[in-house]
Structure 1
Amino acid sequence: MNCATFLRTAGLLLAVSSPLLSPVQAATPADLLAGYTAAAGVPASAARGQKLFTTPQGREWRCASCHGEAPTQAGKHAATGKPIGALAPAFNPERFTDAAKTEKWFRRNCNDVMGRECSAGEKADVLAWLLTLKP
């Protein structure tokens, strides 16, 4: 790893783990994936991410309950009915471009679905799967 890559990864890890400590909020989905994967210490798995997204995780809701079975299309919040834009970055270029916002929504949604925060590995897996979805 060259120096520039190391510094970028270190900065992303800081932004991903403590967004309030980092002035850098803009990111790309690939940057966030790299940060989550590095924090997890294991390669991300799109297959695990798809399974986590589509199957119940011990609570009533699944990720797909609000984001839809196909996160390439708009969803709707299961309780409020509020519209939710497509989750897959290829279908909604605003997704996963702000580390603080990404962390906020992972924290909130993982708690709703799993009753706890997602691990870095789980975030990496879901994001890896979402990045495989192309138009």
Structure 2
Amino acid sequence: MSRSLLSLRRLRATLLLIPTATAMPTANAAPPSELLGSYQTQSGGTQPVPSRGQQFFNASHGHEWTCATCHGAIPTQTGKHAATGKAISPLAPAFNPERFTDAAKTEKWFRRNCNDVVGRECTAAEKADLLAWLLTLKP
């Protein structure tokens, strides 16, 4: 097979994959309210309390860092990681539409951040309270 024909076939195969690859991130996307409902179900149906979520966000839980340490006292603005200095996009979904739309990514970050802040994994009720509070923050 000629080199140009082979290159053309590779290019065509690549172009056919582009729509699939770009659609993949949104294929698993769901509104944050669905994730909130999932946490509420996991917590035994307990109604989330936004004020508890705000308190959880600002509390030290006996450790050096709070959620606000990196995400900022106002999670509607860009935060900054306390150790690395890396910028962190706003946490509130109204200010960052990608937040809390991917359950796997959300769980990954809850696991890491709860370990740093609380010293354990957060409970479903804590996640529900926190997300309920973040959903109240509007532009």
Decide: shared fold, TM above 0.5: yes
Structure 2: how far apart are the matches of 1:119 and 1:27? 21
| Identical-residue share of aligned pairs (%) | 68
Structure 1's consecutive aligned runs of 4 or more residues displaced over 3 angstroms after TM superposition are none
Does residue 38 (structure 1) correspond to residue 41 (structure 2)? The answer is: yes
Alignment match, 1:117? 121
Q: Over residues 50-91 of structure 1, what are the superposed CA-to-partner deviations in whole Å (9 max), with x where a residue is unaligned?
A: 000011111100000000000000000001000000000000
Letter in 2 for 1:102: T
Q: Which has the larger radius of gyration?
A: 2
Q: 1-side partners of 2:105 and 2:28: how far apart?
A: 8
1:58 matched to which residue of 2? 62
Distance in 2, Cα, partners of 1:124 & 1:58: 21
- Separation in structure 1 between the aligned mates of residue 42 and residue 31 of structure 2, nearest angstrom: 17
Of 86, 101, 112, the match for 1:82: 86
Shift, 1:28, TM fit:
1.3
1:131 corresponds to which residue?
135
Matched residues in 2 for 1:50 and 1:82: separation? 23
The answer on 1:67 being equivalent to 2:68 is: no
List gaps (5 residues or longer) in structure 2.
1-26
Displacement of 1:27 in angstroms is 1.8
* Secondary structure of the structure 1 residue equivalent to 2:34: helix
Q: Measure, in 1, the Cα distance between the counterparts of 2:102 and 2:28.
A: 5
Distance apart, 1:34 and its partner CA:
0.3
Q: CA RMSD in A?
A: 0.9
Alignment length (residue pairs): 112
Contact 1:33 1:124 in 2 (8 A): yes
Query: Is 1:28 equivalent to 2:35 in the alignment?
Result: no
Question: What displacement does 1:108 show?
Answer: 0.3
- SS at 1:131's partner residue? helix
Q: Structure 1: which 5+ residue stretches go unaligned?
A: 1-23
Shift of 1:26: 2.3
After superposition, the C-alpha distances for 1:83-131 in whole angstroms (9 at most, x for unaligned) are 0000000000010010000000000000000000000000000000000
How far residue 25 of structure 1 moved from its aligned partner, in angstroms, is 3.5
